[in-house]
Amino acid sequence: MGACVNDYQLKLGDHEYVPIVIGGMGVDISTSELALEAARLGGIGHISDAMNQFVSDRSYGTNFSSQKGKKYQEFAENPDKSKVFFDLDHVREAQLNHVQNTMQRKSGSGGVFLNVMEKLTMHESRETLQTRLLSALDAGIDGITLSAGLHKGSFQLMAEHPRFRDAKLGIIVSSVRALKIFLRAAQKSRRLPDYVVVEGPLAGGHLGFGDDWKDFSLRAICQEVLSYLSENDLNIPVIPAGGIFTGGDAASYLAAGAAAVQVATRFTIAEEAGLPPEAKQAYIRATEDEVTVGSISPTGYLMRYLKTSPCLGSNIRPQCQTFGYVLSKEGTCAYIDAYEETGLDENGRKLSVCGKICLCHHFAKSTCYTCGHYVYRLKDTTNLLPDGTYQLPSAEHIFLDYQHSKDGKISVPVN
Ligand SMILES: Cc1cc2nc3c(=O)[nH]c(=O)nc-3n(C[C@H](O)[C@H](O)[C@H](O)COP(=O)(O)O)c2cc1C
């Protein structure tokens, strides 16, 4: 019999965790409830601050998005969004709402961390990112994982915060090269990351690879990162992510020197996950040929998603006056360009926008089904019910299965 995850522990500083990390899944797919379950069970769960004003409005009764929409109403039809800005006080308040309300409910010995996507540029990327980071630290977050970017200046943005050295700070990279770039920049703030998540090409969400993603393997990149760190006497825990589907898979990475694993796709269908019920059923029913990788995201990163995603073929008008999370510093977004280039049908109606989706609108509506490569194996993790739908497992069930199962086995929930 092989080893299982329960034979290992993750040490970050003087804190010990069950070495299972639930990855951040925006927009609010990795809910507070999901992250809190991971923490209760001794692991680490992420919440995400993607579209934090929208999340605060939906969960905490604020109305930041509609205030912004009203203020910039005149730009609704205007492709030039260069004058549409976020109110930094609102960004801060939304972050405090989301993080504080989560941390207040925390129990157990694990941690609740925040996934911060740098690529959500929000028009003024430096100012909005700094506001997000500092307010998360103020609100008592246990740790912050920086994703979707090189994060060269991000540690420095927090360097003056009293919790800069006490909160756990980590980064997500997809290559040794990206790690080296980050470490060189981190010298400035004289603070190394507390952990490095190495995300391979089979992950969900945005990918740190180009069209040649199939040529890369998580195991090989992970090994390269481990060798690089050991050759340079850098004692930084390495956490692989992307396609780790069973407890046995996870244990094999731990046996090879990883400190923990980061997983997400198995948890997309948890009762506590933020996807609507019909999306969870679509994830479970997915077949391998429905999974694709493409450039529909206006961030410029490739993204993995299901071909059954309702967002495909949409022609929604850009929603930047209300949202605008992907706007560049010039106030542009690749979706605005794609929308402007799209013609009208014979009845004067906008045709489907090809090639790009409005990320803000479709993530707010949960109509973009981003997923990890092995999404099509989810049906093996649960039960088909008499009414033709699939049972949704609890986060606890999935977590304990990762923690205790061996040899590629998966335990399905009790029906
Ligand atoms: C639905 C979904 C949404 C995701 N959203 C994000 C995100 O907002 N930020 C991020 O850094 N990673 C995101 N990811 C990546 C996960 O955090 C994780 O690293 C990866 O998916 C792990 O691989 P697995 O899904 O095969 O277990 C997402 C993954 C999924 C499945």
CA of 242 to the centre of ligand 1 (A): 8
Q: Whole domain around residue 193: which residue ranges?
A: 5-273+385-404
At 188 the pLDDT is: 84
* Residue 305, in any domain of the structure: no
In sequence order, the 6+-apart residues with CB closer than 8 A to the CB of 375 are: 204, 265, 268, 283, 286, 291, 306
Dist. CA 212 → ligand 1 center (Å):
19
Say if 354 falls within a structural domain.
no
- CA 205 to ligand 1 centroid distance, Å: 5
H-type helices in 25-106, by residue range? 32-40, 52-60, 64-71, 88-103
Is 340 inside any structural domain? no
DSSP track, 307-367: TT-TTTT--PPP-TTT--TT--TTS--HHHHHHHH--B-TTSPBPPPPS---HHHHHHTT-
- Best residue among 116, 196, 265 to mutate for probing ligand 1's pocket (most ligand atoms within 8 Å of CB) is 265
Q: Rounded to two decimals, what is the model's pTM? A: 0.98
What is the number of other CB atoms lying within 10 angstroms of the CB of residue 66? 12
Quote the tokens at residue 230. 């050991």
Q: Residue 22: which CATH number? A: 3.20.20.70
Evaluate whether residue 124 is within a structural domain.
yes
Query: Is residue 287, in this structure, part of any structural domain at all?
Result: no
**H-only helix segments in 104-208:** 125-138, 154-158, 176-186
Q: Can you tell me which atom of ligand 1 is nearest the CA of 46?
A: 17
State residue 2's pLDDT score. Answer: 72
Candidate from 21, 22, 25, 199 with most ligand 1 atoms within 8 A of CB, to mutate = 25
The alpha carbon of 75 and the centre of ligand 1 are apart by a number of angstroms equal to 32
Please state the domain count of the chain: 1
Residue in the block written with tokens 């049906």:
379
In a domain, 125, yes or no: yes
The one-letter amino acid code at 112 reads V
How many helices (DSSP H) and strands (DSSP E) are in the chain?
13, 13
Q: Tell me what pLDDT residue 7 has.
A: 97
pLDDT at residue 84 in the model: 97
Classify the C-alpha dihedral 389-47-367-250 as positive or negative: negative
Decide if 15 is inside a domain: yes
- Would you say 119 and 148 are in contact if contact means Cβ atoms under 8 Å apart? yes
Q: Whose CA is nearest to atom 30 of ligand 1?
A: 204
Tokens linked to 375: 């999404």
Residue 152's pLDDT is what? 86
Residue in 314, 237, 315, 330 with CA at minimum distance from that of residue 17 = 237
Each residue's pLDDT expressed in tens, for the chain with a length of 415 residues: 578 999 999 999 999 999 999 999 999 999 999 999 999 999 999 999 999 999 999 999 999 999 999 999 999 999 999 999 999 999 999 999 999 999 999 999 999 999 999 999 999 999 999 999 999 999 999 999 999 887 789 999 999 999 999 999 999 999 999 999 999 988 888 899 999 999 999 999 999 999 999 999 999 999 999 999 999 999 999 999 999 999 999 999 999 999 999 999 999 999 999 999 999 999 999 999 999 999 999 999 999 999 999 999 999 999 999 999 999 999 999 999 999 999 999 999 999 999 999 999 999 999 999 999 999 999 999 999 999 999 999 999 999 999 999 999 999 999 8
Residue 310 in any domain: the answer is no
Distant-in-sequence contacts of 188-194, Cβ < 8 A, 24+ apart: 188/155, 188/156, 189/155, 189/156, 189/158, 189/159, 189/164, 191/155, 191/159, 191/164, 191/165, 192/234, 192/236, 193/155, 193/169, 193/236, 194/12, 194/13, 194/143, 194/168, 194/169, 194/170, 194/236, 194/237
Give residue ranges with CB within 6 A of ligand 1.
23-26, 29, 48, 50, 115, 117, 147-148, 172, 199, 202-205, 241-244, 262-265, 268, 370-372, 374
Q: Ligand 1, closest atom to CA 371? A: 31
Q: Is the peptide bond before 27 cis (omega within 30 degrees of 0)?
A: yes
CA distance 87 to 72: 12
How confident is the model at residue 1, as a pLDDT? 58
Name which residue sits closest to atom 7 of ligand 1, judged by CA: 25
Coil, helix or strand at residue 228: helix
Whole-number Å distance, alpha carbon 82 to ligand 1 midpoint, is 30
Identify the residue whose C-alpha is closest to ligand 1 atom 29. Answer: 204
Report CA(95)–ligand 1 centroid distance (Å).
Answer: 20
- Cα separation, 28 vs 333, whole angstroms: 22
